[in-house]
Structure 1
Amino acid sequence: MPWWAQTLIGVTAALLLVWLALIAALLIAKPEKGLLREALRLLPDVLRLLRRLAGDRDLPRGVRVRLTLLLVYLAIPIDLIPDFIPVLGYADDAIIVTAVLRSVVRRAGLDAVRAHWPGTDDGFAAVCRLAGLTTPAPPSAT
């Protein structure tokens, strides 16, 4: 068998194994339905936030590239776990968005994310809670 065929088989097997491991991890972790429902309710604001952050030239290029890749991933109809699978279908998207948001906050700061947040203060607090971030006090009206 030629080397390229062996490589192709190996890569395919590795991707299949990683995909199965992801499904197993999601089945074991089973995100809470309440948190998932809250995440889906905030989806329009989160998508606007990601687009605004990706377009902000003041943020580091690596952050903007990550956000752009995330938006492309979310726009592509092919997912790691198909969306028609109850709970888990949307959980993979929520987990990836959460990981990228955490990465953006570590690199750009929570204030940059707050400055671009299009929704309410309660929505921002919910996004911070979902992403496991500490939320600063809301801006005071003076």
Structure 2
Amino acid sequence: MEDDQIIIARLEITEFPDEWKEEMETSWHNWLDALDGDHAIVGARADQIVDEDIYEEDFYYGSLYYIWRLDVHPNFRGEEIGIKLINYTFKHLLRNAQGIVFLIAKPMQSRLSKTQINFNSSSRLSKYYRRCGFKRVSKERSKSILMEVQVHEIKI
């Protein structure tokens, strides 16, 4: 980041198309476990969704989207910029997308500011993402909360 510019927000999403998983002839968990622990958690949930037919064929001809980082500059927090960025992304950039979007609500240090901001409430983060349509997968208390939403259910 250069000194004369400021990045207000950054959204990092990875798309994993179902057709790729089918070509590899593997499970979501086995595919995503190779990346890291958070991806493995998402992959395990995706396999559960498929095995238990929780959503009607959402992965067929669709994708698993994993929002692995949403970062809003501390000077711009409290204005729902993160929610607006997610909404804009799925309304305009991924407008014909099908599938399920996952994220793990967990505190992380902002990369958009040099100041150290202590934001350590996963439950507050999960409440924030619920405004966008995400629902909490597990009711267990944890520092990391897995959340999901069907693409067509994102509140735009």
- TM normalised by structure 2 equals 0.29
Task: Kindly indicate which of the two structures has a greater share of residues assigned to helix.
Answer: 1
Structure number with bigger Rg: 1
Structure 1 length-normalised TM: 0.30
Q: Which has the larger share of strand?
A: 2
Higher relative contact order (CA 8 A, sep 6+): 1
